[in-house]
Amino acid sequence: MLEGIHPLLTGELLLHLDRMGHSDAVVVADAHFPAWALGARVVDLPGTTTPAVVAAIRSVLPLDDVPGMDLMTSADGVVLDVQRELMDAAGTDEDSTRFVERFAYYDVARGAYLVVRTGETRKYGNALLRKGVVGHPSA
């Protein structure tokens, strides 16, 4: 156990976050997301929600300059409660978040350094975060 580290940040997850470089992406995925089909590296965090995991990751990972986060567009294009929670957890808003159509999102996610699969059961509860520069003044 480490002091000052969010309890959802396992050793395995911290290792991968540390290995990420500037602009590398981490997908925080809901339970429906095809994590193992798309991700080269997958960390499973069952029993968690995507907003909780995004908040934990953001405690150690600065976001890249715009856009620092992508969300999957819901089928009807309405911003869902889970997506608002994800923006709050990431410290972004609708203006600083890019919304990506579902299949285009899969293509973007395919290039992510890491996929973190959660137990989130709400649809469209996926976030892609791009790592910024650690220690950067805007971080």
Q: Are 22 and 132 in contact (CB under 8 A)?
A: yes
- Residue in the block written with tokens 């300059």: 65
The question of whether 136 is a catalytic residue gets the answer no
C-alpha angle 79/83/86, rounded to 5°?
150
State both tokens at 102.
């579902």
Q: Are 139 and 133 in contact (CB under 8 A)?
A: yes
Go through the chain and tell me how many residues it has: 139
Q: Are 130 and 22 in contact (CB under 8 A)?
A: no
Which helix (H) or strand (E) segment holds residue 128: the answer is strand 127-130
**Catalytic residue (choose from 6, 16, 22, 32):** 22
In degrees and rounded to multiples of 5, residue 34 shows phi and psi of -75, 65
* Active-site annotation, residues: 22
